Structure 1
Amino acid sequence: MRRFSFGILIVAVMIFGIIVGTRIQSGVSGDNLFDQQRKVNQAFSIISKSYVDDVDTQKLTEGAIEGMLERLDPHSVYLSADQNKKSKEEFQGNFEGIGIEFQVLKDTLIVVSPVPGGPSDRLGIMSGDRIVQINDTSAIGITQEGVVKKLRGPKGTKVTVKILRVGEKELLTYTITRDKIPSYSVSAAVMLKDDVGYIRIDRFIQTTHDEFVDALKELKGKGMKKLVLDLRGNPGGYLDQAIKISDELLGGVQKIVYTKGRNSPEENAFSRPGDLYEKDPVIVLVNRGSASASEIVSGAIQDHDRGLIVGETTFGKGLVQRPFEFPDGSSMRVTIAKYYTPSGRSIQRPYGESKKGREEYYSEIQERELGETGLDKGEEAKKKALEIRSKKGAIEASSFIKPDSIHKAFKTDNGRLVLGGGGITPDYFVWTDTVTRYYRQVRSKLLFYEFAVDYINQNPSLRKKYESNSDKFRREFQVTPEIMKQFVAAATRKEIPYNEEEYKRDEKYLMNAVKGAIARQIWGGKAEVAVSLEEDNVLNEALKLFPKAESLAKMGSLK
């Protein structure tokens, strides 16, 4: 099957792409196309020759392309050469650099963890190291963008860094030879309890299916018989990866997704028998940030009654883009088809043409009322949403969802009602707990990470005790009241006033975030994610639904 690119553009910054493109060609048919092209050329010529000031023709051309695409749909976009290059690196599953996960705290570049097997790891650079000089330039005060610019580079080139390490009296000097660095889309794969495994996929890149299979094998080896697949916040990516992951979960020969467009013949993708996880129960977590490829997976699981979808109504992106490459390295992504779930649902949300329509399309997803179903608009919908949200625990969607002119009714294999036209509505609604202003302030000032760095430096025995076993750390390490007293004092020094009421309301989340930040400084981001699951209310409610997921599995989705 031809590979398409799925993804979303949020605040015109997050741009996702595909590697194989198509050169722009002439000869496209259309009403009065030649006359319209000639009109554009005339306008360009007039402006470049007659405008009062000098004209940047590149910006003029890019503006014209962007203006045309704005008249189409929210997902047809233009990428500059730099954006196109970064997008390709993002989705190839690797880039070239020194291989560290890093963060900038207190104007200092800190190594969170070296990428295993990467050039920094091979030289012995450690988590917690502070890079204070890059080549001949001080790294104090460097920005996130500055780090990427100075440390990434072509494979085989060298960069020299000076490092301040706790316990060493003098700076350590390393000359690092850049290499290809793998990037990962599976950010967590852990056993939660008993026989329940958990896998989180952040995006769908070239390596996602391979990563997912490795995670499945690892967890099955540890006794997994129930799976939670977390697609929350996953904006999409490669269609073929979503198809392959769906295939691992669906038994027999079943339709996964199909696409069709004005000049694109219908294409169908089917599962094949004999994959890794076709029978045991599965629950998929989604939210309003789950889009495109994420919706393909969750839609296929739901339509075939293979498992339960839990969380919020998803983003609602059902358009297929193909990239067309320009000779200068830039490209444009043009929508060439729509995709449909196995039952025939298009889950694309309505959108308006023009720049204003595009802005409203993206602002809608940001402005959904807390607990909004994502199905309706207006005061009555808000009232209903707040009523639903006020209930504790998971809310079964079938108790209140109703078809309308936009959200048409469809049936799953076993006759359950599902809706099209506005994202994937979960089988059970569960909304993320909100946090107070105090929590938001300490997070926005990166206090969790700053505190974790200082705490580890002041307690070197902690690293020695747990460094070889992150699971043991998750089970045993407790954030004590004394540790939180130190944390509150650190917040006060950062001019974050203590609010006892807000602190008590969020205490368990604050303690969990401190523990997660400590884990991150020792093992990296995946360890932090694993710790965060301990206080994830959506996950904890989903776990209670496994008896229902088991019933679905027993009904048999194998065809």
Structure 2
Amino acid sequence: MTHASLKRIGSGILAGALAFAAPLPVFAADGSDADTFKYLSLFGDVFERVKSDYVDEVSDEKLIEAAISGMLSSLDPHSSYMNKDSFSDMRVQTKGEFGGLGIEVTLEDGAIKVVSPIEDTPAFKAGLQPNDLIIALDGEPVAGLDLQAAVDKMRGPVGTDIKLTVKRGDQTFDVSLTRDVVKIRSVRHETYGDVGYIRITSFNEQAEPGLLDAISDIKKKIGENKVEGYILDLRFNPGGLLDQAVAVSDAFLDSGEIVSTRSRRNDNASRFNATPGDVIGGKPLVVLINGGSASASEIVSGALQDHHRAVIMGTRSFGKGSVQTIIPLSGGSALRLTTQRYYTPSGRSIQAKGIEPDINVPQAHLEEVTLNIQREGDLKGALDVDNKSGNPAAKPTDAAAPADAKAPATGTTAPATGEPVTKPASDEDYQLMRAIDLLHGVALFKQSAN
């Protein structure tokens, strides 16, 4: 069950099914053409002055792309211009699969360091290990290459070969690999006694299928009738595809609205409704969120909260209530434009406010420290709660203790606001333990009631 959509609401990748938008008029139809020509003429004057007088020569491409980027970034934190390479990377991440080797890598001392091979991929089957150093690709040293260039060389058409020169400790050896389809695993699961745990790290195209597979496997391991309940972990999930957020919500709902989207034009509103069937058969459900849970994560948690289908636990979410549309442009580039706001079933816009958990549980309870946290409402130029214009001063009004967040559109750690949060005194996942305790308590209550 999916819903075709151009829209993506995540903090990083912003596309669903890609298609060309209808051509837009260059000038407004309200009699302001003269002003438009005046400002375009001003732009032309500045462009020519920079071309002729700037201390260093600058290409037309660089100047125009920078001008477009500046125009879009002035609107809100999530509208942006993507050049050909950025647009291509976005589509790969959105699809959740690509032709490659299946290794997570980083750059270290001029070599490509293996972070981890992905299970059941060419790299995993060939025995590559964490901390291996890849020093050459097809006999060409990687020294001098940036990380993206090295990754691009390792990716390629399925069925093609590549030779890696690997340094492991004092040993150096060659490994020949054949590229295969690599899927970005966005869903992981395990069991804690009779509790099923499912973590979704991003809402790419693999989210709903991965969720259904996880639930099926948990039922087999525990026994469908013995499962006490499920935990859906959306912490630090920056978002993803709108249709996947709807599909994941629908998996736990029998009926009712999941989310609605509205633009500045009344004829461009959409509503997404649940279809019959709850894949966990009404079992208790706890959803974990924190300050890094954004967009698609907030759609899911908001829908399940409004329908009283799940207990939302953790700390207040990021608060990104806007929808971006991807508009492919000439030359392989694309425009990422904020076009709508989304609303939970009860009509809440969580823009700059976030989802408040039903049970507020900071990550730990022993030692309080100050961390540098930022949410949607803290971003310069962020949309305000309900109005159409940007509101640079918009701030969340509540003070729930957040966890660390990711900066929308880039996925990098967000800058500071200095809000207090609790820091674990050990490696124990305190929020997860409290969710498990809650489900155990519900199970005991049902047993005593019977």
Q: Please state which band the TM-score falls in when normalised by the shorter chain.
A: 0.7 to 0.9
Matches within 5 A, 1:134-149: 134-138=137-141, 144-145=147-148, 147-149=150-152
Describe the shift of the 1:181–1:278 C-alpha distance in structure 2 as closer, same or farther (beyond 3 A).
Answer: same
1:212 aligns to 2:211 (yes or no): yes
- What is the correspondence of 1:14-33 to structure 2 with a 5 Å cutoff? 14-23=12-21, 25-27=23-25, 29-32=28-31
Match of 1:179 in 2: 180
Question: Where in structure 2 are there 5+ consecutive unaligned residues?
Answer: 354-376, 384-394, 403-419
- Distance in 2 (CA, whole Å) between partners of 1:330 and 1:249 is 38
Q: Which residue number corresponds to residue 310 of structure 1?
A: 313
CA contact (8 A) 2:238 2:295 kept: yes
In the alignment, structure 1 residue 257 sits paired with structure 2 residue 150: no
Against the structure 1 CA distance between its residues 239 and 549, is the aligned structure 2 distance closer, same or farther, given a 3 Å change threshold? farther
- What residue number does 1:546 align with? 439
> Does structure 1 residue 359 correspond to structure 2 residue 384?
no
1:107 Cα shift? Answer: 6.4
Decide whether the 8 Å contact of 2:228 with 2:440 is kept in 1.
no
Q: For the Cα contact (< 8 Å) 1:280–1:553, is it kept in 2?
A: no
Letter in 2 for 1:212: L
The match for 2:161 among 133, 158, 161 is 158
Q: Quick one: structure 1 residues 153 and 553, their matched pair in 2 at CA, closer, same or farther if it must change by over 3 Å?
A: farther
State the alpha-carbon separation in 2 of the partners of residues 60 and 240 from structure 1: 36
| Aligned equivalent of 2:271, options 264, 268, 272 | 268
Post-superposition shift, 1:140? 7.2
Task: Please name the residue that 1:325 is paired with.
Answer: 328
Specify the SS of the correspondent of 1:222: helix
Matches within 5 A, 1:51-450: 51-53=52-54, 54-103=57-106, 109-125=112-128, 129-138=132-141, 144-145=147-148, 147-164=150-167, 171-186=172-187, 188-192=188-192, 194-223=193-222, 224-250=227-253, 252-263=254-265, 264-349=267-352, 358-359=379-380, 361=382, 375-376=396-397, 433-434=422-423
Alpha-carbon offset, residue 85 of structure 1: 1.2
Q: Describe the shift of the 1:113–1:315 C-alpha distance in structure 2 as closer, same or farther (beyond 3 A).
A: closer
- The 2-side partners of 1:102 and 1:45 are apart by 44
| Cα RMSD, aligned residues only | 3.4
1:50-102 per-position Cα deviation (integer Å, ceiling 9, x unaligned): 44245532233223323332443322222222211111111111122222234
Quote the Cα distance in structure 2 between the aligned partners of 1:357 and 1:65.
24
Q: Is the 8 A contact 2:16 2:242 kept in 1?
A: no
Alignment CA distance shift 1:551-1:2 (3 Å):
farther
- Give, in angstroms, the shift of residue 329 of structure 1: 1.6
Q: 1:156 to 1:39 in 2, by over 3 A?
A: farther
Deviation at residue 285 of structure 1 after TM alignment:
0.5
Q: Which amino acid is the alignment partner of residue 432 of structure 2?
A: L
Q: Distance in 2 between matches of 1:111 and 1:55?
A: 37
Letter in 2 for 1:75: H
The answer to whether the 8 A contact 1:109-1:142 is kept is no
Cα displacement string for residues 243-265 of structure 1 (whole angstroms, at most 9, x for unaligned residues) = 11111111x22111111212353
Q: For the Cα contact (< 8 Å) 2:101–2:177, is it kept in 1?
A: yes
Scaled by the length of structure 2, the TM-score of the pair is: 0.75
Higher helix share: 1
Residue of structure 1 equivalent to 2:430 = 537
Distance change >3 Å, CA 83–CA 108, structure 1 → 2: closer
> What is the DSSP-based 3-state SS (H/G/I as helix, E as strand, rest coil) of the residue aligned with 1:545?
helix
Q: Percent identity of the aligned residues?
A: 35
Q: Aligned pair count?
A: 384
Inter-partner Cα distance in structure 2 for 1:72 and 1:322 = 14
Aligned-pair CA distance for 1:271: 1.2
> SS of 2:332's equivalent?
coil
Structure 2 vs 1, CA of residues 59 and 538 (structure 1 numbering), >3 Å: closer, same or farther?
same
Tell me the amino acid that sits aligned with residue 190 of structure 2: V
Q: Residues 137, 6 of structure 1: CA spacing in aligned structure 2 closer, same or farther, 3 A cutoff?
A: same
> Which one-letter code corresponds to 2:241 in the other structure?
Y
Contact (CA 8 Å) 1:164, 1:170: kept in 2 or not?
Answer: yes
TM-score, L = length of structure 1? 0.61
Q: Which has more radius of gyration?
A: 1
- Whichever structure has more strand as a proportion of its residues is 2
Whether the 8 Å contact between 2:117 and 2:128 is mirrored in structure 1 is yes
| Cα displacement (A) at 1:233 | 0.8
Separation of aligned partners in 2, 1:71 and 1:128: 42
Contact 1:198–1:230 (Cα < 8 Å) also in 2: yes
Give deviations 1:363-399, integer Å, cap 9, x for gaps: xxxxxxxxxxx8527xxx6xxx68xx9xxxxxxxxxx
